[in-house]
A and B are shown apart, each in its own frame.
Chain A
Amino acid sequence: MKLSFVLREVWEGVRGNLSMVLSIVLVTFISLSFVAVTALLQIQISNLKTYWYDKAQIAVYLCSDFESDLICPTGAITEAQQVAVASQLKSSALAPYIAEYNFESQEDAYARLLDESGSLTAASYLNPEQLNATYWVSLQDPERAQLVVEAFQSQAGVASVADQRSYFDPIIGLLNGASLAAGGIATIMLFSAALLTTTTIRLSAFARRREIGIMRLVGASSASIQLPFILEGLLAALIGGGLAIALNVFVVENYLTDSLALELAFTNLVSTQEVLQVAPYVLGLGAILAVLASGISTFRHLRT
């Protein structure tokens, strides 16, 4: 069968069945939008992790005179205790996990405080003795932070140990939850899109039953009888997928790149580039689904 003829048949089918084809377009549009959102949220999460986890350190805060007795029963850290902490950092048990560490004395901490927050009035009430001397530890693998945290938590002379990664847990949890919700909606919507495609294609085949009957009689192959219907489903799904990509690009451009990213300049938000990276998979998913749904619905009805 010639391509131009097949395309004309597809066009006839779409024209005679316009409202149903439109419904496939809309349902695939919405469902694939959610698929794209799910994928973009996952990319955002992994961006956040690689960007921030590399920078996140573990802070081992040493006891000062101002800690409560519950935390530091012996008062400010003694020299012996500090030697013990330092040698623990160098020990063969922990060294493989630690990329580097540096010591920040109370004076250094005070200098940094003035540097970062000097304009705040609270800073003028503080003095170096109230701050904690700190070991800042960078890890080889941020995922193994817990191991290092636990090693110092109960060490004598250590006030507290903080994993900076934990500051990101709420936002990552939020993004994960949103991604899960979008994925759930996407799954249900994709399922209904598939069902709608099968029904629509069946209706379209019913509307053209005369043509199909003649095609069978004059010896058109099953494949060439099915092809226009499969193309009809595919066309609708691809238009829906295209709209989904366009919507995602629009949202990312207008609400992330042009506004949120300017306010949150310190982080890297997903951009149009990521949407376009996701696009082939989204379109592919829509295409596979449409071909399967329309193929299955025509297989039984249109065979010679």
Chain B
Amino acid sequence: MISLESVTKTYRGPGASALTEVHLQIARGEFVFLVGSSGSGKSSLLRLMLREERPDSGEIFVLGENLRTLPQRRVASYRRKLGVVFQDFRLLPNKTVYQNIAFALHVIGKSRAFIETSVPDVLRLVGLQDKSSSFPATLSGGQQQRVAIARALVNRPELLLADEPTGNLDPDNSREVMSLLSRINLNGTTIVMATHDRGIVDQMQRRVVEIQDGRVIRDAETASYREVPSGPLWISEDES
């Protein structure tokens, strides 16, 4: 589903983060946390997967597309195959919950009939069917993020990219959002989520990819946010 081979990306300017020789394989149906401190390269990695940027070198394949060579004119149709959510929700304040979600379908030319069945469906999925005519400002942070998730999912993507989706939420709202994401993942959607919320990662016990200074320093199944290196992580020179 996602495959990065020796992906390197550098930025000009001071304080810019970068990625160095990143290898990463993510299979269909996985739930992967990208962890690491601010500026470690988590967001750069997501931007590459979104094809907001191209790598300087290395290959990156997502959903069967080679993103390094994907021509500009096919970027839009590529993005229709995935969903994205952000820390700041990015809802339109002058549109209702229903209109916010329908907007994402209108702009890619979906039919009225498709919109009229998909939007209520996805609102039920995120548990906001009775908020469809509310405006974002009247909702709690958790509810707003659920609207954003509904918008990301309404076109039924196979992959959901989430950049700090709980970053602006209190623990209760965060739990609400995480249980929704788990449910979505159970339905078969692959989820890649960048976070530095230790509590969530520890509680979920999913695959954790830790990035530091642009390098993958840990990739562990059903792991916690930090792990004391032990056992197989210690490889001496004689064994190798």
Taking Cβ atoms with an 8 Å cutoff, the residues of A that contact B are 1-2, 5, 210-211, 213-222, 224-225, 303-304
Contact = CB atoms under 8 A, between A and B. Distances in A.
A252 to B, nearest CB: 45
Contact of B84 (A2, A5, A217): A217
A66 B11 CA distance: 99
Given A213-B90, A219-B77, A303 B109 contact: no
Interface centre among A211, A218, A225, A304 (most CB of B within 10 A): A218
Contact of A214 (B75, B76, B81, B92): B92
A219 B90 contact: no
A216 B107 CA distance: 9
Given A2-B106, A219-B81, A219-B108, 15 more contacts: A1-B106, A1-B107, A1-B108, A2-B109, A5-B107, A210-B90, A214-B92, A214-B103, A215-B107, A218-B155, A219-B80, A221-B76, A221-B77, A303-B72, A304-B75
Nearest to A214: B90
A271 to B, nearest CB: 47
Interface string B62-100: 000000000011011111110010000010100000000
Contacts of B4: none
Interface residues of B, number: 22
Nearest to A8: B106
Interface in B191-205: none
Contacts of A219: 76-81, 108
B151 interface: yes
Contacts of A222: 73, 76
Interface in B2-23: none
A211 B107 CA distance: 10
A223 to B, nearest CB: 9
Contacts of B78: 219
A220 B75 contact: no
Q: Please classify the interface of chain B as helix (H, G, I), strand (E, B), loop, or mixed, using the class held by over half of its residues.
A: helix
Interface string B156-198: 0000000000000000000000000000000000000000000
B223 interface: no
Interface of B: 50, 72-73, 75-81, 84, 90, 92, 103-104, 106-109, 112, 151, 155
A213 B103 CA distance: 12
Contacts of B109: 1-2, 224
Contact of B107 (A210, A224, A303): A224
B72 A220 contact: no
Nearest to A225: B107
B177 to A, nearest CB: 18
A211 B155 contact: no
Contacts of A225: 107
17 contacts: A1-B109, A2-B112, A211-B103, A214-B107, A214-B151, A217-B50, A217-B84, A217-B90, A218-B155, A219-B76, A219-B79, A219-B80, A219-B81, A220-B107, A221-B77, A222-B76, A304-B79
Between A1, A215, A304, the greatest number of chain B beta carbons within 10 A of the residue's beta carbon is seen for: A304
B106 A5 contact: yes
Residue of A2, A219, A225 most packed against chain B (CB within 10 A): A219
B215 to A, nearest CB: 28
Contacts of A215: 107
Contacts of B76: 219-222, 304
A218 B72 contact: no
B69 to A, nearest CB: 16
Contacts of A214: 90, 92, 103-104, 107, 151
A218 B104 contact: yes
Contacts of A217: 50, 79, 84, 90
Interface centre among B79, B84, B112 (most CB of A within 10 A): B79
Nearest to A16: B94
B90 A218 contact: no
B159 to A, nearest CB: 13
Contacts of B112: 2
B72 A304 contact: yes
Contacts of B72: 303-304
A2 B103 CA distance: 12
Nearest to B82: A219
Closest 7 CB pairs of A and B: A219-B80, A219-B79, A220-B107, A218-B104, A221-B76, A5-B106, A219-B76
A168 to B, nearest CB: 59
B92 A218 contact: no
A35 B151 CA distance: 49
A216 B81 CA distance: 13
